[in-house]
């Protein structure tokens, strides 16, 4: 049974899982969050079809995909005489476009981009869900060209594709959910400065730095290789601006604590990519506090909101502290883990503040050990474990920090940025 | 001019052969797989009632995934393999 708005996604998943002929019955969307009587009426209206499809052979609609087309790039003839006009329309017609001007992936440009990786063009780096499109070096390069990247950005994109292909990252869910989540690419280490990736003022944008094109290349790969077509496969109800481009660097020089990559065991001279599935940044403004206690009151108070996914599941949360906020907190002897624990312990909302249906249908049902049969003044945590809070330092001068609520089961993963020979790229 | 397609196709998957469909549902074990997305539990309970009304000898078998955002997992799949002849699942919102 499929709600009508999700038929494309259901067909895609059936095909990817090797069951393209899976019989389906459609129920008119929406099903969730509506009066139960109307939902059950939809079920009754579909009952004959449901019973019939359970007891009749499926109709085959399968078209085979050859191994060559899955790994070898396709080169297509275009009229490129009008690069800013008809060519852009042609790109959009093929579903390749994010709506902004794209550079044509010519043989020369793609070859230069491939060379930037130090890897052979047909090498398979990973498969991107939900389409499970094969990301060869050359296809990564084609998307990078279209996004406006430079060849030296390729090792970052290769590391990012490796992470997004890891089942632990749950890209399938990130690509398809109604939740506004997008992979945020966080660069750590000395390469951030070398490659002109902003970690300072306005790290989330805008600016002339490389953040924009690197993040855009990620999005184009999610669209073109992963098949995350907005509205059809990418079912985000509203999405967020970071789904166009979402890339920052950690401001390690301004951090009083070990960097994220150091926490994860990487050496000082090894630069890394971390991918985090997150919402848009939410601001935390505190211009007055001069102590860790004061600042953490504002930070935890800002984070304590009932409408975030991590309230009801084991999701992570990314907190991006400004250098000035981080310095104030660290000056009072707080470690990064102390900040994480404070957020877990103190960013809470009494259960009585939640809507009754959400208490019954979400908190009690999904986290029964924590909340079922508990009094209404039970404090509901924003994450389920303190270790699920990720803290980095970024940004420039000023008294604003940010937090990015996470999504479901995805886990932020970190990989080194490597040269073509497999050694860390320095 | 030739341009490189940025699209990626999937590697060929070995399509699984769906089991032969029964000619009739009478007396069969009919699985109802709850994906934990509200209100699917109520939908499945309603279906269970309807199956009992409509199909002589039908034996509905209800089972739930553990986590909404993750696949059903081997324990659920094994249970379905052992306990049902056909299964009804749901996707959507």
Is the pLDDT reported for residue A67 higher than 70? Answer: no
Asked whether residue B1 is assigned to any structural domain, the reply reads no
Distance CA A132, CA A226 (A): 6
Indicate the range of A58-72, A240-254, A383-397 predicted with least confidence.
Answer: A58-72
Asked whether residue B45 is assigned to any structural domain, the reply reads yes
Asked whether residue B3 is assigned to any structural domain, the reply reads no
- Helix (H) or strand (E) holding B48, with range, is helix B40-54
Q: How many domains does chain B have?
A: 1
Please choose, from the candidates A151, A159, A149, the residue with its C-alpha nearest in 3D space to the C-alpha of residue A185.
Answer: A159
Asked whether residue B2 is assigned to any structural domain, the reply reads no
Give pLDDT, residue A61: 57
At A347-379, the pLDDT tens digits run 999 999 999 999 998 999 889 999 999 999 999
Asked whether residue B72 is assigned to any structural domain, the reply reads yes
Distance CA A287, CA A289 (A): 6
Domain membership of residue B52 as a residue range: 29-88
Give pLDDT, residue A32: 83
3-class SS string, chain A: CEEHHHHHHHHHHHHHCCCCCCCCCEECCCCCCCCHHHHHHHHHHHHHHHHHHHCCCCCCCCCCCCHHHHHCCCEEECCCCCCCCHHHHHHHHCCCCCCCCCCCCCHHHHHHHHHHHCCCCCCEEEEECCCCEEEEHHHHHHHHHHHCCCHHHHHHHHHHHHHHHCHHHCHHHHHHCCCCCEEEEEEECCHHHHCCCCCCCCCCCCCCCCHHHHHHHHHHHHHHCCCCCECCCECCCCCCHHHCCCEEECCHHHCCCCCHHHHCCCCCCCCEEEEEEECCCEEEECCCCCCHHHHHHHHHHHHCCCCCHHHCCCCCEEEEECHHHHHHHHHCCCCHHHHHHHHHHHCEEEHHHCCHHHHHHHHHHHCHHHHCCCCCCCEEECCCCHHHEEEEECCCCCCEEEEEEECCCCCCEEEECECCCCCECC
Give pLDDT, residue B18: 77
Please choose, from the candidates B24, B54, B50, the residue with its C-alpha nearest in 3D space to the C-alpha of residue A40.
Answer: B50
Q: Are the beta carbons of B30 and A54 separated by less than 8 Å? A: yes
Distance CA A258, CA A335 (A): 9
The angle at the Cα of B15, spanning B11 to B21, to the nearest 5 degrees, equals 160
Structure tokens at A244: 């166009």
Q: What is the mean pLDDT of chain B?
A: 88
B38: which chain A residues are within 8 Å (Cβ-Cβ)?
32-33, 361-362
Please choose, from the candidates A112, A424, A111, A119, the residue with its C-alpha nearest in 3D space to the C-alpha of residue A273.
Answer: A424
Structure tokens at B14: 């070995």
When pLDDT is cut at 50, 70 and 90, the band that residue B13 belongs to is confident
Give pLDDT, residue A64: 53
Q: What is the mean pLDDT of chain A?
A: 95
Residue of B nearest to A42 (CA): B43
Using DSSP, state whether B51 is helix, strand or coil: helix
- Tell me how far CA of residue A150 lies from CA of A193, A196, A198, A247, B48, in angstroms: 15, 11, 16, 15, 58
Structure tokens at A231: 């509205």
Is residue A134 within 8 A of residue A127, CB to CB? The reply is yes
When pLDDT is cut at 50, 70 and 90, the band that residue A57 belongs to is confident
Is the pLDDT reported for residue A112 higher than 60? Answer: yes
Strand pairing category for A272-278 and A182-188 = antiparallel
Structure tokens at A295: 């600042």
A40: which chain B residues are within 8 Å (Cβ-Cβ)?
42-43, 46
The angle at the Cα of A131, spanning A130 to A134, to the nearest 5 degrees, equals 115
A56: which chain B residues are within 8 Å (Cβ-Cβ)?
21
Interface probe for B, chosen from A35, A44, A50, A55 (most Cβ of B below 10 Å), is A55
Is the pLDDT reported for residue A66 higher than 90? Answer: no
Sign of the Cα pseudo-torsion (A374, A378, A381, A384, in order):
negative
B56: which chain A residues are within 8 Å (Cβ-Cβ)?
none
Asked whether residue B10 is assigned to any structural domain, the reply reads no
Please choose, from the candidates A157, A178, A239, A82, the residue with its C-alpha nearest in 3D space to the C-alpha of residue A417.
Answer: A157
How far off is chain B from A346, nearest CA to CA, in Å?
Answer: 26
Distance CA A381, CA A314 (A): 11
Is the pLDDT reported for residue A95 higher than 70? Answer: yes
Interface probe for A, chosen from B2, B5, B6 (most Cβ of A below 10 Å), is B6
At B23-82, the pLDDT tens digits run 899 999 999 999 888 788 889 999 999 999 999 998 999 999 888 778 888 999 999 999
Q: How many CB atoms lie within 10 A of CB A269?
A: 10
Give me the residue spans of the domains in chain A.
2-54, 83-279, 281-406
Structure tokens at A385: 């474990």
Is the pLDDT reported for residue B91 higher than 90? Answer: no
């Amino acid at each position: 049974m499929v709600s009508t708005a999700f038929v494309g996604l259901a067909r895609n998943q059936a095909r990817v899982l090797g069951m393209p002929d899976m019989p389906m019955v459609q129920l008119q969307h929406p099903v969730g969050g509506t009066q139960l009587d109307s939902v059950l009426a939809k079920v009754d209206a579909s009952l004959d079809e449901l019973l019939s499809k359970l007891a009749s052979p499926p109709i085959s609609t399968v078209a085979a995909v050859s191994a060559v087309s899955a790994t070898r790039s396709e080169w297509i003839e275009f009229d490129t005489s009008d690069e800013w006009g008809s060519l852009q329309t042609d790109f959009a017609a093929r579903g390749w476009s994010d709506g902004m001007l794209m550079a044509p992936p010519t043989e020369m440009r793609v070859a230069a981009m491939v060379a930037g990786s130090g890897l052979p063009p047909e090498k398979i780096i990973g498969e991107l869900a939900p389409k499970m499109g094969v990301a060869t070096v050359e296809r990564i390069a084609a998307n990078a060209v279209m996004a406006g990247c430079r060849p030296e950005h390729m090792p970052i994109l290769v590391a990012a594709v490796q992470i997004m292909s890891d089942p632990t990252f749950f890209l399938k869910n990130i690509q398809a959910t109604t939740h506004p989540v997008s992979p945020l690419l966080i660069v750590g280490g000395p390469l951030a400065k070398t490659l002109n990736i902003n970690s300072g003022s306005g790290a989330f944008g805008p600016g002339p730095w490389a953040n924009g094109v690197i993040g855009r290349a990620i999005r184009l790969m999610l669209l073109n290789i992963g098949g995350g077509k907005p509205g059809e496969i990418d079912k985000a109800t509203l999405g967020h601006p970071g789904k166009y481009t979402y890339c920052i660097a950690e401001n390690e020089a301004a951090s009083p604590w070990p960097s994220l990559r150091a926490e994860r065991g990487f050496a000082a001279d090894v630069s890394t990519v971390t991918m985090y599935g997150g919402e848009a940044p939410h601001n935390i403004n505190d211009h007055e506090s001069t102590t860790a206690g004061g600042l953490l009151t504002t930070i935890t108070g800002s984070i304590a909101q009932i409408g975030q996914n991590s309230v009801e599941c084991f999701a992570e949360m990314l907190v991006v502290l400004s250098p000035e906020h981080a310095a104030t907190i660290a000056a009072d002897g707080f470690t990064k883990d102390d900040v994480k624990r404070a957020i877990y312990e103190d960013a809470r909302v009494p259960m009585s503040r939640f809507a009754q249906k959400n208490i019954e249908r979400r908190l009690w049902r999904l986290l029964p050990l924590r909340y079922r049969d508990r009094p209404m003044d039970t404090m509901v945590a924003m994450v389920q474990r303190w270790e699920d809070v990720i803290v980095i330092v970024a940004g420039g001068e000023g008294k604003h920090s940010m937090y990015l609520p996470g999504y479901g089961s995805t886990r932020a993963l970190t990989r080194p940025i490597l040269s073509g020979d497999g050694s860390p790229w320095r | 001019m030739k341009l490189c397609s940025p699209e990626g196709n999937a590697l060929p998957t070995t399509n699984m052969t769906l089991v032969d469909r029964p000619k009739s549902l009478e007396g069969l074990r009919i699985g109802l797989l709850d994906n934990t997305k509200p209100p699917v539990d109520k939908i499945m309970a309603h279906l269970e009632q309807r199956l009992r009304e409509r199909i002589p000898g039908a034996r509905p078998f209800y089972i739930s995934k553990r986590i909404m955002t993750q696949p059903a997992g081997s324990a659920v799949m094994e249970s379905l393999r052992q306990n049902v002849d056909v299964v009804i699942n749901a996707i959507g919102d």
